[in-house]
Amino acid sequence: MTESDGRETFLAALRELGGSAGNARLREALGWSGARYDEIKQSLIADGRIVPGRGRGGSVSIAGETKIASPAPPATRPAPSAQPAPSRSTKPNRNGGDLGFEADLFKTADKLRGNMEPSDYKHVALGLIFLKHLSDSFEARHAELLAEYPQGAEDPDEYAAENVFWVPKEARWSSLRANARQPGIGKLIDEAMLAIEKVNPSLKGVLPKEYARPALNAVMLGELIDLISGIAMGEDRERARDVLGRVYEYFLGQFAGSEGKRGGEFYTPRSVVRVLVQMLEPFPDPARGVKGRVYDPCCGSGGMFVQAERFLETHGGRLGELAIYGQESNYTTWRLCKMNLAVRGIDSDIRWNNEGSFHKDELPDLRADFVLANPPFNISDWGGDRLREDVRWKYGAPPPGNANFAWLQHILHHLSPNGTAGVVLANGSMSSSQSGEGEIRKAMVEADVVDCMIALPGQLFYSTQIPACLWFLAKSKKNGGLRDRRGEVLFIDARKLGFMVDRTRREFSDEDVARIADTYHAWRGEADAGDYEDIPGFCKSATLEEIRGHGHVLTPGRYVGAEAEEEDDVPFPERFAALQEQLEEQFAEADELTAMIRARLAGVVAL
């Protein structure tokens, strides 16, 4: 058989299997050796005739029939508006990922925890949600294979090809639910977790296995299993994955709120993440030399990655087109991240070590196209005295007493030639001159790696009530496809945006996120983003000369100025007369109230 014949045979077999199939299944259908199969497969991929799938075991699809067009920005964007964000009374569209039932679900689950601390209970609840996701995905794929390819129903490769984990029979949700009311349910859950880890090496050490401990009430566990059993019941595989993923994300956010400052260590509020993602637009863009590698050196529970993948999919991309890389120093948080990504079907390379990204960089050769990060603010014990000569400190050695500029330079070190980054930092990073920080900031500005600075309102974060800021960095401001922005920095003052979701915490509305992101896109000169213009009190494009005039301080309020007052065309005499009339009415009302109070006081004395 010639290579041409082999290629056509390969494609014909793939079409017979529905246009997409796992490698093991297709190779068996062809009856070829592994070497022959791989040779033909690689030649077809190189020619664009087929595309590889995202599964761990590998799959292929016919490109012309299944490939989704390369992601692109929205077709049109409104020009940034000079109007203020909607007031709270306009009921802005909250972006907390509401499904309509997850709040009630969480309230019910929270009642079951009794006196258990939220920091402990979150692992109990999230672990069970994840276990249900694994089991539901497995059962759905198992049913598909029984209907289409019965021989593959017991082949783990057929599941891995679709990014589905193999779940042993004793670990399946149906088995646990059947025994939910048994006194030994905690032990059965632990055994299920161990069984899953044993046959899925990528989950080793990830799943919680402390359900049998005496402190956990077996009745509570049974009721929690019953509650979780109703999530996504009867949904197809893709919809069930989405529902469970959003429930997992919602629970993470609620537990972070319950834990307060400790919650902020593993969770970045969703509306803040959306600002970062909407501004950077993480999708592959060959025209700009951007491949789609996303990195977070302190990734927490993985919320940045979830939002990046969500952005990709909503703009025409396909799950798996982004390459996800991260590192986390807290082992418990690393486990949450691994589960959070797996429940979404997101392939990733998330590393853990307890030394952290500064002292043991697990991905030293990575050059990312997008970096999204919310590092802990103002770390004083980061061990900087042991890293004084590190190659990453291109703009100056960070002070041992504060890691803010260590994070910024570590991130710049990991950016690709056309890479961009969005970083959450404490407000002090914009103006501090202590211990050489001012000189480092000056060097970064003069090197033209600072693209945009955003001042945030207070009360956005669980971990701190103080305001924070966003740094946007660019390795090159002369990116292909964007405006040449060399010698300029965009400043945005977003301190007046957002609305209070309760008495202690603020969120950005969808309109707020769009206003900030659209301003940045217009300033960068993106297609269909509209024309950029400075808006007093909100945004200003400043030159390096102007920044030098402010001593390289990057606080947006210094640049954007005061908000323009609305013009009043009413002549002064007319306006004065109206104000005087209003004042007289208020005087009269005050007199009436005074008389009423005196009458009631007199009545009290008469009694």
Residue boundaries of the structural domains of the chain: 3-66, 94-258, 260-560, 572-607
Backbone angles phi, psi at 15, to 5 degrees: -65, -35
CA distances from 426 to 98, 175, 380, 474 (A): 29, 49, 13, 20
**pLDDT tens digits, residue range 426-483?**
999 999 999 999 999 999 999 999 999 999 998 888 666 667 999 999 999 986 678 9
Segment 25-33 shows an average pLDDT of: 79
Distance set, CA 397 to CA 340, 366, 404, 407, 469 (Å): 35, 22, 11, 11, 22
The residue ranges of DSSP E strands in 7-142, in sequence order, are 20-22, 50-52, 59-62
Query: What's the pLDDT band for 607 if we cut at 50, 70, 90?
Result: low
Name 468's bridge partners: 426
Instruction: Read off the pLDDT of each residue in 515-544 and give the average, rounded to a whole number.
Output: 95
Amino acid symbol at 414: H
- Give pLDDT, residue 604: 74
SS3 state at 417: strand
State the average pLDDT over residues 563-575: 63
Residue from 273, 286, 275, 276 nearest 418 by CA: 286
Burial 240-274 (b: 16+ CB within 10 A, else e): bbbbbbbbbbbbbbbbbbbbeeebbbbbbbbbbbb
Is residue 65 predicted with pLDDT exceeding 60? no
Q: How far apart are CA 123 and CA 385, in angstroms?
A: 36
Residue 131 has pLDDT above 90, yes or no: yes
pLDDT greater than 60 at residue 268: yes
Stretch among 61-65, 112-116, 349-353, 455-459 having the lowest mean pLDDT:
61-65
Q: 210 by DSSP, 3-state: which?
A: coil
Q: Are 579 and 573 in contact (CB under 8 A)?
A: no
Q: Are 478 and 439 in contact (CB under 8 A)?
A: no
Q: Which amino acid is at 189?
A: I
pLDDT, residue 482, reads 87
CATH architecture entry for 3-66 = Orthogonal Bundle (1.10)
pLDDT at residue 3 is higher than 90: no
Strand locations in 20-110 (E): 20-22, 50-52, 59-62
CB 457 within 8 Å of CB 499: no
The stretches of 494-571 forming alpha helices (DSSP H) are 510-524, 544-549, 557-560
pLDDT exceeds cutoff 70 at 93: no
pLDDT-derived band of residue 95, with 50, 70 and 90 as boundaries? very low
Cβ atoms of residues 507 and 274 within 8 Å: no
- Round the CA-based radius of gyration of the chain to a whole number and report it: 29
602 vs 476, residue with greater confidence: 476
Task: Name the nearest CA neighbour of 85 among 519, 575, 572.
Answer: 519
Least confident range of 56-65, 198-207, 499-508, 594-603: 56-65
pLDDT in tens, 352-380: 999 999 999 999 999 999 999 999 889 99
The CATH number assigned to the domain with range 94-258 reads 1.20.1260.30
Provide the 8-state DSSP code for 201.
Answer: G
Dihedral sign for Cα atoms in the order 347, 353, 354, 355: negative
Residue 55 has pLDDT above 60, yes or no: no
- pLDDT at residue 84 in the model: 40
pLDDT tens, position by position, 139-154: 999 999 999 889 889 8
DSSP string spanning 304-373? HHHHHHHHHHHTT--TTSSEEEEEES-HHHHHHHHHHHHHTT---EEEE-TTHHHHS-S-TT--EEEEEE
Length of the chain: 607
pLDDT for the residue 89: 34
Query: Residue 495, by phi and psi: left (phi above 0), alpha (psi -120 to 50) or beta?
Result: alpha
Mean pLDDT of 276-305: 92
Read off the tokens for 479: 């990116």
CATH of domain 260-560: 3.40.50.150
On whether the CB atoms of residues 193 and 161 are closer than 8 A, the answer is no
Residue 163 pLDDT grade (very low, low, confident, very high; cuts 50, 70, 90): confident
As a whole number of angstroms, the distance between CA 451 and CA 524 comes to: 9
Give the residue from 387, 419, 423 showing the smallest Cα distance to 407.
423
Contact between 299 and 267 under an 8 Å Cβ cutoff? The reply is no
Residue pair 228/127 in contact by the 8 Å Cβ criterion:
no
Give me the amino acid identity at 239.
Answer: R
Average confidence score pLDDT of the chain: 85
- β-bridge mates for residue 372, sequence order: 422
What SS3 class is residue 454?
Answer: strand
Q: Which of 425, 432, 492 is nearest to 461 (CA)?
A: 425
Q: CA–CA distance from 151 to each of 146, 148, 301, 600 (Å)?
A: 8, 9, 38, 91
For residue 456, the one-letter residue type is L
Among the residue ranges 24-28, 505-509, 597-601, the one predicted with the least confidence is: 24-28
- Tokens linked to 213: 């401990």
Of 244-253, 349-358, 561-570, the poorest mean pLDDT is in 561-570
**pLDDT at position 497 over 80:** yes
Would you list the DSSP string of 579-601?
HHHHHHHHHHHHHHHHHHHHHHH
